[in-house]
């Protein structure tokens, strides 16, 4: 008996590390002080650039979208999903991404699969102008089945204390602007998989005429980052609040930034929903309210701005006016959806 016979292949791990090093190094900048393989990643803070820096951290995964990636044999997109999801989560507070750490847990380590995942992580880190400075690959037979894997990430960003965006300045009359999603992003996959793979008995390569795409391609569309299009506007005088529309949909995420005494009224007829949501609602016979709780329904990110700034965002970005901030009219919830 040895370690390899028990299910842990050290050589495969070393092979994977050697192959991902060029991908990871491509994300480095002058602040990264260590190479891949150290016990901890070192990142130097440029104190000439940052005067009153606040660290903003978050950790997340991509949920059961991983199972769709497994079925399709496509692994780079979930890496991009993970990074972009985490970037959006810290950017809502005005934070600029600095560095990222990943965790990959597997039943049996396949260097080819690991390289695909890391290539996606590296691509998204570069697109968001941050460094991938470390991570963990854990081969754990007995915890994961042979072909199973899990994926999680930690992000650290910086924001000047005076530039924090937390929703506290949101006031009556502010406008809610929405940014379109391209599909499910990284939420609602347990429900979507139940409908598509169990109720409809489809396979990942099944073609759906309504979507003009295969099941796998439709469900694996990359969760976009909204940081690149909004980074230059991230100032609390310009944007009063931001929300990333993830689990819980518009009602569950917009309410997190609405001050007491106010409500967000959102008109769901102001944007066009991607066809996949109509397909899932009709084939799964899901109530529309439940759809808005489980999915983003076509809006992946929202910002709340003073009315005078509305035209700037509509003209310079792909924003759509979707609602208003009003006095709370006795609602128990802070978000009112006009269906």
Query: Which pLDDT score, from 0 to 100, does residue 330 have?
Result: 82
The Cα 182–Cα 219 span in angstroms is 10
163, 192, 222: which is the final residue of a domain?
Answer: 163
Sheet holding 320-327, edge to edge: 241-244, 299-305, 175-180, 320-327, 262-267, 335-338
What's the pLDDT score for residue 23? 94
Q: What is the pLDDT of residue 4?
A: 80
Question: Closest Cα to residue 304, out of 247, 255, 248, 261?
Answer: 255
Q: How far is CA 57 from the centre of its chain?
A: 14
How many CA within 13 A on the CB side of residue 141? 11
Decide if 202 is inside a domain.
yes
Listed residue (205, 134, 155, 144) closest to 55, CA to CA:
155
Same domain, 302 and 333: yes
The CATH number of the domain holding residue 138 is 3.30.1330.10
Residue 166: how many other CB atoms lie within 10 Å: 15
Q: Are residues 159 and 15 in the same domain?
A: yes
For residue 69, CA distances in Å to 173, 193, 213, 236 come to 43, 12, 16, 38
Task: Give the three-state DSSP class for 141.
Answer: strand
Say if residue 19 is in the same domain as residue 151: yes
Do 42 and 79 share a domain, yes or no?
Answer: yes
pLDDT attached to residue 255: 97
Q: Are residues 324 and 191 in the same domain?
A: yes
Give the CATH number for residue 278.
3.90.650.10
User: What residue ranges of the chain have pLDDT lower than 70?
Assistant: none
Burial of 238 (0-12, 13-18, 19+ CB in 10 A): middle
Q: Cα(335)–Cα(266) distance, rounded to whole angstroms?
A: 7
Is the residue at 189 inside a domain?
Answer: yes
Number of domains making up the chain: 2
Q: Are residues 76 and 110 in the same domain?
A: yes
Could you tell me if residue 52 is inside a domain? yes
- Domain assignment of residue 295, yes or no: yes
Domain annotation covers residue 168: no
- For residue 7, the model assigns a pLDDT of 78
Of the candidates 283, 47, 60, the residue with the CA atom closest to the CA atom of residue 185: 60
Q: In the structure encoding, which two tokens stand for residue 71, read together?
A: 């079925």
Strands of 96-106's sheet in order across: 53-61, 149-160, 96-106, 131-139
What pLDDT is stored for residue 8 in this prediction? 82
- Residue 147: the pLDDT is 87
With tokens 């700037």, the residue in question is 312
User: What pLDDT does 37 receive?
Assistant: 81
Is 89 inside a domain boundary?
Answer: yes
Contact 144, 106 (CB under 8 A): yes
Pairing mode of beta strands 96-106, 175-180: unpaired
Per-residue tokens: 11: 């050589």
Q: What is the pLDDT of residues 161-183, one digit of tens each?
A: 999 999 999 999 999 999 999 99
- Same domain for 310 and 222: yes
| Structural domain harbouring 327 | 175-338
Tens of pLDDT, residue by residue over 100-121, are 999 999 999 999 999 999 999 9
CA distance 337 to 258: 14
């Amino acid at each position: 008996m040895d370690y390899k016979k028990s299910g842990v292949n050290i050589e495969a791990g070393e092979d994977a590390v050697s192959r991902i090093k060029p991908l990871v190094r491509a994300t480095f900048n002058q602040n990264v002080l260590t190479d891949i393989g150290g016990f901890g990643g070192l990142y130097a803070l440029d104190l000439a650039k940052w005067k009153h820096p606040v660290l903003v951290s978050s950790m997340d995964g991509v949920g059961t979208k991983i199972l769709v990636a497994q079925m399709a044999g496509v692994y780079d997109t979930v890496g991009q999903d993970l990074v972009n999801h985490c970037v959006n989560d810290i950017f809502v507070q005005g934070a600029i991404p600095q560095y990222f750490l990943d965790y990959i847990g597997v039943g049996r380590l396949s260097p080819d699969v690991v390289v695909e995942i890391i290539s996606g992580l590296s691509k998204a880190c570069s697109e968001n102008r941050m460094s991938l400075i470390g991570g963990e690959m854990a081969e754990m037979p007995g915890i994961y089945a042979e072909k199973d894997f899990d994926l999680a990430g930690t992000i650290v960003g910086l924001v000047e204390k005076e530039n924090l965006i937390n929703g506290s300045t949101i006031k009556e009359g502010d406008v809610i602007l929405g940014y379109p999603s391209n599909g499910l992003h990284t939420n609602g996959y347990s429900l979507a998989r139940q409908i598509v793979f169990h109720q409809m008995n489809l396979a990942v390569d099944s073609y759906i005429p309504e979507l003009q795409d295969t099941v796998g391609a439709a469900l694996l569309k990359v969760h976009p980052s909204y940081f690149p299009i909004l980074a230059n506007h991230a100032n609390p005088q310009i944007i009063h609040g931001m929300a990333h529309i993830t689990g819980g949909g518009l009602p569950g995420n917009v309410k997190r930034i609405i001050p007491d005494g106010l409500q967000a009224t959102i008109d769901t007829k102001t944007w066009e929903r991607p066809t996949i949501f109509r397909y899932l609602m009709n084939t799964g016979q899901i109530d529309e309210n439940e759809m808005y709780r489980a999915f983003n329904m076509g809006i992946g990110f929202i910002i709340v701005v003073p009315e005078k700034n509305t035209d700037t965002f509509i003209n310079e970005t792909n924003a759509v006016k979707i609602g208003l901030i009003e006095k709370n009219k006795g609602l128990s919830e802070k978000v009112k959806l006009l269906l």
